[in-house]
Each structure stands twice: as C-alpha cells, then as structure tokens.
Amino acid sequence: MVKPSAFLPEPQHRETSVFRHGGEPREELWAIANKHVPQGRSIHGAALVKAADVREVNLDVIADEPPLRHAAIRNWPWIEDELDRKAKEKELANLLASKSELLRK
C-alpha cells in the first residue's frame, strides 16, 4: 500500500513535488528517480496516481519544469489552525494514497 505521507505537502512550499510519468517503460521511471532523488535517500518504490484523481479531491497538478517532467501538487487548503490544517492534509493524502498504485523497485 502507498503511504499517505508520500503525498503530504512540503511545509515551506505548500506543495508536493512529483514527476509526470505516462505509458513509458517502468525503467524510465526509475531513471528519473535515480537522477533526481537526493543523495543518501533510498528509493523503495513509486506511487502512481492519475492527475484526474488528484483533481477529484480538489487539488491540482501543475507542470513545474525544470527538471524535465517535474510537476507539483498544489492548492492544498490553507487553514489558520495548524492542527486543523494538518488533519485536512492527512485526509487528502489518505484519499490520494487509496487511489494510487504502488510500484516496487
């Protein structure tokens, strides 16, 4: 199962960094990961989710290049109360995780 934490937004940017991957061979997905995942972080798998599923929960996926095929999940709701905001983010991340396919390396 995909961990919901994979979708949580980065606090400083209020977005989730992702890469767009279509019907290309899976090997290309791993090449992207190897090139762009920071040194020292392990790659155990990938969460595949459709842009339509992201938009269905009132978030958006916007191309954000460079690097090539980079995108950002944006429009996370802003709620003043930090606990309420984090709860809503977790709720949305859970929905995205439930709609995702886990691809193991």
Domain boundaries, the chain: 4-104
| pLDDT band, very low/low/confident/very high, at 40 (cuts 50, 70, 90) | confident
Query: What are φ and ψ of residue 46, in 5° steps?
Result: -140, 145
pTM across the whole model? 0.88
Q: What is the pLDDT of residue 32?
A: 87
Q: How far apart are alpha carbons 44 and 84 in whole angstroms? A: 31
Does residue 69 surpass a pLDDT of 80?
yes
Q: How far apart are alpha carbons 39 and 23 in whole angstroms? A: 27
Between 25 and 8, the more confident residue is: 8
Structure token digits, residue 94: 């859970």
Between 75 and 105, the more confident residue is: 75
Q: How far apart are alpha carbons 83 and 27 in whole angstroms? A: 40
Query: How many angstroms separate the first and last alpha carbons of the chain?
Result: 14
Give the range among 17-26, 51-60, 63-72 with minimum mean pLDDT: 17-26
Reported as a single tens digit per residue, the pLDDT across 80-104 is: 999 999 999 999 999 999 999 998 8
